[in-house]
Amino acid sequence: MTTTLFHLSDIHFGLEDNKALDWVKQEIAERRPAAVAITGDLTMRARHREYSAACSWIRSLDVPVTVEIGNHDMPYFNLIERFFAPYRRFRNIESLIERTIDLPDIAIVPLKTAVRMQPRLNWSKGWVSRSALRQCLAAIDALPAGTKALVAVHHPLREVGTKGTALTYNGFKALCALAKRPVLAVLSGHVHDPFDIMEETLDGPVRMIGAGTLSLRLRSTPPSFNELTWDGTTLTVRARNLDEVPTRSMQIDDVPENALPPREPGEPVAPVNQVPRTDPPVH
């Protein structure tokens, strides 16, 4: 039996690409994936109207949906709320979209990587807290025997350099712990370009799959989402896009470590095969 999942990310309601979203909605209606996993940055600035638009769109999909919190999904303008109730707006919509997900031998397990504040200048980067990792590992360990986990995060679990420059602090520690468990792949967003790479850890390799964006904040590839197919043995990824760029051309070869401003909305996307693959801007 084959299971199809759609992996969406970085819709950034407030700066969403409505043409791409109409297409994805139609694809969901036609293909009826077993679930849609959205890996964060649902909104642009966590405004109430952006959350409301996100909620309407998600509720119009007639399939189960999971959503992770991204660095853009915590209050941006209201700092008091950001510090004291950072997840309230997100949790409100999470409760509205909740539906039971019943997958045969796989499970989507969340791991929170976005935090309200951190002891470094760039708060848009990821941070895996001890309690977030503990919750994720406990959820994996509680799965029925034979069930494989798809771990859903916002930031790729890439950690290089120092505490200040790492894309996701404690990402490597998390990957090592996941490598020891039945994890099919880690699904992420944040980068705005798709990828599918094997990350080596001290405890074996872990597959990291990134979805592109469905917003106007493009980096180096057109708007896209990942179609995942699981046949019980192999997980196949297609980076679906309206321009019909082949998956291999859509996927970047490595996860960039810098978080620089993305391409401005409206600026044309360079043809994918001409995109420089070194040190491009990410969001």
Q: Would you tell me which residues interact with Fe ion (CB under 5 A)?
A: 10, 41, 70-71, 190, 283
Q: Which two tokens stand for residue 128?
A: 């895996």
Shortest separation between residue 110's beta carbon and Fe ion, angstroms = 16
Give the integer Cα–Cα distance in Å for 174 and 152: 12
Q: What is the dihedral of CA 178, 179, 180, 184, to 10 degrees?
A: 80
Q: Burial-class residue 201 by CB neighbours within 10 Å (0-12, 13-18, 19+).
A: middle
In the complex with Fe ion, the residue whose CB is nearer, 10 or 199, is 10
Shortest separation between residue 217's beta carbon and Fe ion, angstroms = 6
In the complex with Fe ion, the residue whose CB is nearer, 167 or 272, is 167
In the complex with Fe ion, the residue whose CB is nearer, 107 or 126, is 126
* Other beta carbons less than 10 A from residue 129's beta carbon: 14
Give the integer Cα–Cα distance in Å for 220 and 168: 21
In the complex with Fe ion, the residue whose CB is nearer, 43 or 107, is 43
In the complex with Fe ion, the residue whose CB is nearer, 70 or 194, is 70
Shortest separation between residue 46's beta carbon and Fe ion, angstroms = 12
224-230 β-sheet, strand order: 65-67, 35-38, 3-8, 224-230, 235-241
Shortest separation between residue 213's beta carbon and Fe ion, angstroms = 6
- The answer to whether 166 and 124 are in contact (CB under 8 A) is no
Shortest separation between residue 218's beta carbon and Fe ion, angstroms = 11
